[in-house]
Amino acid sequence: MTITQLKYVLAVAEHQNFTKAAEKTFVTQPTLSMQIQKLEEELDILIFDRSKKPIELTSVGRKIVNQAKNIVNESERMQDVVDQEKGFIGGEFRIGIIPTVMPTLLPMFLKTFTSKYPKVHLKIEELSTEEIIHKLLEGHLDAAIAATPLQQEKIKERVLYYEPFVGYIPESHRLFEKKKILSTDLDLDDILLLEDGHCFRDGVINLCRASKMAKNDAFQLESGSFETLIKLSHEGLGMTLLPYLHTLDLSEKQQKHLRYFEEPSPAREVSIIYPKSELKLQIIDAMYQVISGIVRGAIRFQDVKIISPI
Amino acid sequence: MTITQLKYVLAVAEHQNFTKAAEKTFVTQPTLSMQIQKLEEELDILIFDRSKKPIELTSVGRKIVNQAKNIVNESERMQDVVDQEKGFIGGEFRIGIIPTVMPTLLPMFLKTFTSKYPKVHLKIEELSTEEIIHKLLEGHLDAAIAATPLQQEKIKERVLYYEPFVGYIPESHRLFEKKKILSTDLDLDDILLLEDGHCFRDGVINLCRASKMAKNDAFQLESGSFETLIKLSHEGLGMTLLPYLHTLDLSEKQQKHLRYFEEPSPAREVSIIYPKSELKLQIIDAMYQVISGIVRGAIRFQDVKIISPI
DNA sequence: AATAAGTAATAATTTTTGTCTATCAAATTT
DNA sequence: AAATTTGATAGACAAAAATTATTACTTATT
């Protein structure tokens, strides 16, 4: 059994076709046929059911593919181990970002980062906190940006910035006339929330819980984007809360609806998180430096009270 | 990079000597030299410091060896995956057993098991619960026998038997005259305990805690074996508690000092535990059958109250 | 200091393996 | 029925891995 053979198996399993898999692996089709046959012979099982069109995995085949993924994955980390030691900043870097951070933070640092570290090939994915934790632990991500603290034993956190919550209040709302708002002013029943799965939603709920136990009505409008929430808010359906960086993109007209909290303002903690194995720590360091440098200009320091995202 | 090269690296790292490693891997020494050089060239680092005698790993080398272990380990599991599917019962089976179970249970089932499943090559290690959990998760063990429940997310448990605690009371002791004892009779301050690290010790402490919060004196005799505890007990240093199976080996004279608990007797739950990946499930099944069959004859069913081992 | 033993690297050679081109056979599509 | 797609097979060849033989160096031993 060789790593090459396993890669061939993975390619064929993915494309369900020897010829296409051969192209992708830059060898000829007979090479794949023979090497896979050799592996099947060695293990004394059939990995593929070639009678089906397109080709299918056998039931053992599926398990073998899983194990092959493990092996190939681990083998690809060998180069990371070496890069780590050399202090080389480059190679593939897979990073996950939660949806409520993605659109504001990404444009801010992406250009700077890629021009400063051209050898790093970024692969960015928008993922929920839950998916991020899972993928970090499985080794499918090198790092992620998420709201913290997460209290995950095998994941390290490095705080990038504290992002205050800002109220967005429609003119009809009871809080519109106030200059500054307090967390005790909030009532979960008239706050528009993001849909389930967003940790910013959970943060808001925690914030309200902290002041008073507001009952969550069965019927409540929820949306996947802040833009929609703002529009719904204008329809008089209630106020909403935005993360500070999002408020920077609003029109002047919209800015008039913003109401900041009295200090200490409730805020979310946004961190770069990564597995304790600390592979690619140099790239993580580099990204930390770039992002915190940029955000330092965008968020003035203030006294905040961190709201848990979970 | 090939799996073979990694195996060569591991062999040299283990023996700190190319020639010996070559013998162990059944190739000639130049083969190792060349293949390892090739790998070093590919990764563009030195794995071994050949100037030292005996040869040493470089600092990158150590990390590479770690990663190589991962890869080789995973690759060796491929055969397990296949065996699993074929229902083949054989191959290497690495099992860990806690010290307080080892001497009583092992002789009971070992003969039966090996004669029933001659193709299984058992590798048995005596380990603490902590070490067992660690090794199971790292893939260095296929299964283990330990006191449960452990509430480990990634480990499955299958109860083998419930083993009552039995008091061993010296003649001078206040409880010697009682026919049956109660957990409320116990006082941690006059019970001889195994030394730290044994989960049976923790079980006893939990049992006493459950009845009353006895203060643990600073000076307390502790030992690594029940045999010593019994001797110490005879010296009038206090009573002790034994797991039921241990009491079967005692002399008639010693048996006179045994005092059983009123039902429901406190007991420990002993289980065979294994990773959720469930490789080698057939062998685990087989072992479960053999052990629980044997123990069924040795421990009569009774009403018990399980004491947590952690 | 000379010699022997041990150890890893190197060179030359042989063996094995991986890949390629060319071709075939079966299945699928037109 | 013909054409196309797809995977298996055969033979040739190059690359890679392993072997034997040898060298260079270090460490013990006399």
Query: What is the mean pLDDT of each successive set of 10 residues along chain B, which is 310 residues long?
Result: 94 90 91 93 91 85 91 90 87 90 89 90 91 89 92 91 90 84 76 73 72 51 72 82 89 90 88 90 91 86 81
Chain A residue at shortest CA distance from B85: A60
Cβ contact A19 with chain C strand, < 7 A: no
**Residues of chain B with C-beta less than 8 angstroms from the C-beta of A63:** 81, 84-85
Backbone angles phi, psi at A10, to 5 degrees: -60, -40
Q: What is the predicted pLDDT for the residue at B90?
A: 87
User: Confidence band (pLDDT; 50, 70, 90) for A212?
Assistant: low
Q: What residues contact residue A282 under an 8 Å CB cut-off, 6+ apart?
A: A83, A84, A87, A88, A89
- Contact in structure between A91 and A83 (CB atoms under 8 Å): yes
Distance of CA A78 to the CA centre of its chain: 25
Interfacial residues of B (vs A; Cβ cutoff 8 Å): 1-4, 43-45, 59-60, 63-64, 66-68, 70-71, 74-75, 77-79, 81-82, 84-86
The shortest CB-CB distance from A85 to any of B2, B63, B82 is to B63
Q: What is the predicted pLDDT for the residue at A124?
A: 92
pLDDT value at A205 more than 80? no
**Which of B268, B157, B130 is closest to B206 using CA atoms?**
B268
Q: What is the predicted pLDDT for the residue at A219?
A: 45
DSSP-based three-state secondary structure for B210? helix
Please identify which residue in the block is written with the tokens 């190589």: B68
Closest-CA distance, B89 to chain A, in angstroms, reads 16
CB contacts < 8 A, A to B, total 68
Closest-CA distance, B84 to chain A, in angstroms, reads 9
- Contact in structure between B11 and B26 (CB atoms under 8 Å): no
- Each residue's pLDDT tens digit, A231-272: 888 887 888 888 999 999 899 989 999 999 888 888 899 999
The shortest CB-CB distance from A82 to any of B60, B71, B86 is to B60
Q: What is the predicted pLDDT for the residue at A218?
A: 41
Sign of torsion over alpha carbons B61, B67, B71, B77: positive
* Three-state secondary structure string covering chain A: CCHHHHHHHHHHHHHCCHHHHHHHCCCCHHHHHHHHHHHHHHHCCCCEECCCCCCEECHHHHHHHHHHHHHHHHHHHHHHHHHHHHCCCCEEEEEEECCCCHHHHHHHHHHHHHHHCCCEEEEEEECCHHHHHHHHHHCCCCEEEEEECCCCCCEEEEEEEEEEEEEECCCCCCCCCCCEECHHHCCHHHEEEECCCCHHHHHHHHHHHHHCCCCCCCCCCEECCHHHHHHHHHHHHCEEEEEHHHHCCCCHHHHCCEEEECCCEEEEEEEEEEECCCCCHHHHHHHHHHHHHHHHHHCCCCCEEECCCC
Q: What is the predicted pLDDT for the residue at A214?
A: 53
User: Cβ-count burial of B59 within 10 angstroms (0-12 exposed, 13-18 middle, 19+ buried)?
Assistant: exposed
B68 vs A78: CB contact, 8 Å cut-off? yes
Q: What is the predicted pLDDT for the residue at B219?
A: 45
- Mutation site, A70, A76, A84, interface B, largest B CB count within 10 A: A70
Give the number of other CB atoms < 10 A from CB of residue B7. Answer: 19
Give the residue, A208 or A292, on which the prediction is more confident.
Answer: A292
pLDDT value at A168 more than 50? yes
Q: What is the predicted pLDDT for the residue at A223?
A: 65
Cβ contact A28 with chain C strand, < 7 A: yes
A71 vs B71: CB contact, 8 Å cut-off? yes
* pTM of structure: 0.73
Give the residue, A296 or B145, on which the prediction is more confident.
Answer: B145
**Interface residues 54-113 of B with strand C (CB < 7 Å):** 54-55
